[in-house]
Homo-oligomer: A and B are copies of this chain.
């Protein structure tokens, strides 16, 4: 059955049962708008879009299919990550699907299952899909907006890091980029063994560390963001916003790279490029006061230093840049 064969209300009736209506929803789908609890009188809000052939490919030359489940998962994950990066917890998602009429209805159902699974498996228990929009288009586009609560705490911005702060990472680095390199290589994923499967999964279904954001806020993090465009580029955003240098420790980062080495070797790549430049793992990068106890899941990878608001690697310039949607 194709999307073009059914009405919008039939499609909705297939999707809604797959989406849990718990969490912070005071009123779920079905009216002109939904209502979400904002217990401390503030609402954190963000939005992210995934576009077919730009952010995902439904079918690759090597025969690899990206499933609806993958796309739904990734949409939820990258949105939940933005709330995490403020030190908050997600309370709701609204999701717009633009679907070519030839899209299979079961692909859309699978997408709803992926949304629900990401919310559940990433531990965003307070979050529900409370609404959205369904429409037709030439290209598959999924846009989600996410709301969250700060639980009475101040938000952790990009701008608060101070000279001397410890810079730490939660979550993985470079794995999603390695997975993308494998997908784009053209060889069957199986040739990259179990590590290859894991890296591809990291690209398709990223796992932002959702407990780490609120924990960092509670531990006194002074600046934080999620690493969506690559460590160096996102570190540069903290440096710029905070008006201080950010020096990364290549020794620690080499440990992240070492875990990617077998795949890098098969592809003839330097795994440090993935660690420094790869986005989409949606880990967190945060600056903590020097004497703060790092919360569970965080690893120190550098420090804030005096001087220009630039990112350095053992005090040397870096020349990497991350992803730009239009020019790259």
A interface residue numbers (CB < 8 A to B)? 3-9, 11, 26-27, 30-39, 41-49, 51-55, 81-83, 85-86, 88, 92, 94-96, 98, 101, 130-139, 141, 143, 145-148, 150, 155, 157-158, 225-226, 241, 324-327
Q: How far is the CB of A35 from chain B (nearest CB, A)?
A: 5
Q: By the criterion CB–CB under 8 Å, are B143 and A49 in contact?
A: yes
The 30 sampled A-B contact pairs (Cβ below 8 Å) are A4-B326, A7-B324, A8-B324, A31-B225, A32-B85, A32-B158, A32-B226, A33-B46, A33-B82, A33-B86, A34-B44, A35-B45, A36-B43, A38-B42, A43-B43, A45-B130, A45-B145, A47-B145, A48-B133, A49-B98, A53-B138, A54-B137, A94-B145, A101-B326, A133-B143, A135-B325, A136-B326, A137-B139, A141-B143, A147-B147
Query: Within the complex, which residue of B49, B98, B155 is in contact with A135, where a contact is CB–CB below 8 Å?
Result: B49
Number of copies: 2
Partner of A132, one of B37, B47, B136, B325: B47
Alpha-carbon distance between A26 and B45 when the two chains are bound, in angstroms? 11
Residue from A94, A132, A150 whose CB has the most chain B CB atoms within 10 Å = A94
Give the interface centre of A55, A134, A137 by most chain B CB atoms within 10 Å: A137
The 3 closest A-B CB pairs, nearest first, are A38-B38, A145-B145, A33-B46
Q: How far is the CA of A137 from the CA of B325 in the complex (A)?
A: 10
Pair A147/B98 contact, Cβ less than 8 Å: no
**In the complex the two chains form, is B133's CB within 8 Å of A47's CB?**
yes
A145–chain B nearest beta-carbon distance, Å: 4
Least CB distance from A66 to B in Å reads 16
Are B47 and A26 touching (Cβ within 8 A)? Answer: no
